[in-house]
Structure 1
Amino acid sequence: MEQDALAPVDGEFWLINNPDVKFRGRLMVEGGKSHLWVTGPLVSTTTTQIVSSKEEPVTTYVLRTPQPLPENATILGTLDRRGQVQYNEDVTLLECLCVNPGLSLPIPGSDHQEWLPRLIVRGTHADEVDPKFSRLQVRFAHLDEWAGPYVLSQLDGASDTDAEEIRRNLSASLADQGVVRLAREGIVTTSPAGDRNLRSAIWVEITGLKPMSFDELDRAYIAPLRTLLTLSLGKDCPPVEIQVGDDLLPVWFDIQPTPISPLTEDQLHSTMLLQCRDLGIQGIAHWLNRARLLGHLSHKVAAVVAGFGYTIENEVLDLATAAEGLHRRLHPDRQRFDKDLVEQARAAALQGCDDLEPKLQEAVKSALSHIADPSFRDRLHDLIDDCAAILPDVVGLRPKRWSSDIAEFRNRFAHELNKGHLNEKDILSCLACRESLRWLLLARLLIETGIPHEILSDRLGKHPRYTIFLRQAKNWSPRIYAEG
């Protein structure tokens, strides 16, 4: 199915671990963005307690206590029959985030809830919260024009008896495990005038894999294929249809992913972070006055804020680079050690280098030339201090662990120390690093507009994307953001 072919569909929905509580709802997928609205609370946002006073006359009242919302819920559903579909379709919604929990008031419609699923698996009810898949097939934009002639050359003049040989010619074994194959399928398209046409479509099919999550499939196979097509064709080739399955079952399930959080502004119906009246003309002038000092670093941060990054590795590396550069420009006189101590250390070290060959002496001198500079972690903690009154919780409960993670990922990505793909745990840690750096640097840059700190703190702290990030970070990086 095309990614926006599911907009909108009514059905019945329930949490995987609470099948007795079901509500009608509407699921919509459009442009890669997924929403679920349900007519009642799949999760209770409050606990209700009937309380009576001890004095006469006795007064009885209802006490409602807010309850924490689940961060990554799995929701099952049955979609209504529609159009050409002659059956009720099962659907599994994975990693759902409740962004509108309802008001729990005795008013019709007040308890409606809005959820954002990250993955939609159509055609099945998952029997576990984190399902694994061992088969994958994908259609990409422009894949037909790229691979079509090659596939047709293998089919040209072939008879039905050659089917197995053709299959072998279009297949190849992967180094670790599995087989990749180019497959052709006939699909029906409808023109604006209503005419139906049959054309062939090319899929990349990968089977025989060890069971893995969708994110692992994406990192190991979908993203590299997209990159290969993009490099080959000189234009972006995103996936337009994805199906997953298990080698034990002879069926494919459609999967519709929403790019991994952070959530887009449209999804959260959010307002702008700052309005012109927050800055005033003086704030605009102040920003322009600081533009030369900030240079290209503000553009790096803006690119990530606007979602221009291509991979999370690139975004984390760009933000870490921007953090170091921004610190150098804003704190040019920051020294790690006293100047006299640095000179004594250099003299002592160089004194022992007289017997070394010239190249080694140069290497030692080069290493000692930056001994007074703050470490990358020191620079990060200075930026944290700069923003402490504005975003006190952006780096979680353990700032030293946070800076350690940022430094580790920066070194891995800058020096290509990471072999292969990030594992699922690293992906989640990377997300926490990317989002926290995004907010920290955004706050630090906006300080340069001269906006009062209390206004900036209020706007950032109440921004829907920021509050959602703080919730998600507890799951992404619990060793930094979670209590205990």
Structure 2
Amino acid sequence: MTDGDTSRWSGRFWLADAPEVTAGGWLDASTRWPTADLAEALTSPYRRTEATQQPNGSWMITADSADDDVQPATFTVHGFLRGTEGRVTLVDAENTGRNMTLNVLADRGSERLIARYAVLGDHLDGPHARFKRVQFRLKHLDAWAQLREGLSVRFAEHGSHAQMNYAGAEPQTAATITTPGSLTLDATFRLPPPSVVEVRFIQRAFLMWESSADGLSVDQLWARVLDPVRSLLTIASGDDCPVTTMHVQVEGGRWLRVLHPGIDNSPDELRSGRDMVLTAPALSLSDVATWLDQVDRLSPVPQLVAGHVARERDQVVESQVLELAAAAEGLHRRLEPDERVMTDEQARQIRSACLAAVPPDSRQMVANRLGQLADPTFRQRLALLADRLGNAAADITGVTSLWTRYVAEARNGFAHMLDPRRETDVEHSIVLRDSLRWMLTIVLLAQAGVSMETIMRRVSGRQDYQFFLRRASAWLPGVYAGRSDEDA
């Protein structure tokens, strides 16, 4: 692999606080975590624990291994890469392996450092460096953005020649309130060299968030902007939409490339917007900004649902039901944190009456069991969440009271290993999984500000949703008794 390769570079590296000692090596960005394989060690393999002066005036030094801590020390590492990338910063790097030759004092040995993330293009102080702008792309972003305006082709009569015209649209911008700033949707445009076979335009959408305050660190940008957008587009597309590129801007306007474990560089296949649950403008940039303003309120439920979409084929159905049931309970708790089935005073009176009726040595145990008496039960939370579906509840949850019972029994059975009858219940589990998935998808998309009418119009036309309705009627007729194959 050559120095010019985009995923592996040779260069020299040093600790940010000890630039006088350098080591040659390679930075590998092809793995999930940026990895530096160094020809000489930058960190000491030992940690001094005690120093005792001997009677003859010499010192006896006691040391332990520096690499066996449960929470190992991390370092900021700077470097210079050969090729076009130049400076690099490895943030929170830690030693993950050494190769040492004992009794050879001049040999510092080699070591491998793995960083939490790396930034190409500059030397940063560490993880607290702040940036006012971040630019990023996600898989299927072009399919969601639907930036098709401005392209036209005109053919001359008899096909003797053709004329292609492209006029780029103005960038779209929406304000974010909770994390003050603005989100922009724009596109790059280029014309590859034409050939006798084809002439084509290449347009690529990208998102940029700009802070109106002091800026955010890479960790904060990921948690408050990139990952929430990833979750939303994954839910809206019905397919995994990982971040594929991330750049941050420093003073002077230079853009720095970020190598982050959450970035997936796999090629983005061309996908039709018809295959997605929602695309722009139904899910507009303003809706995405509204979603970002709810990160603190909804997290980590969107991540759980997006994770289910991304990993559905890799998990057993029982795990999926358990995960989605937990997400449903968590979503209702976040949407309705003050929901109560009785007043606090009623709950206090009931607890007092119950405690008075049990022996003193059992009162604490009973008090613990009755501690959440005023809160809705799991089944009640599911029913209240289903109410948010409106008319769609008849399709997705059927007879809601029976559906909540099935979900509760499945969740409790899987969580506590109570029911071994997988052969007879797997079809029920598939229906419960799909019903939970659609309920969570619809309720979460509504939190971005999309109308329920718009969501259901798009969902109802999807083949996988129609397939769910048919399976529900066939496999759980007691719950979906009001449906028939003709209705589906």
Pairwise TM-score range, normalised by the shorter structure: 0.3 to 0.5
Calculate the TM-score normalised by the size of structure 2.
Answer: 0.45
What TM-score comes out, normalization by structure 1 length? 0.45
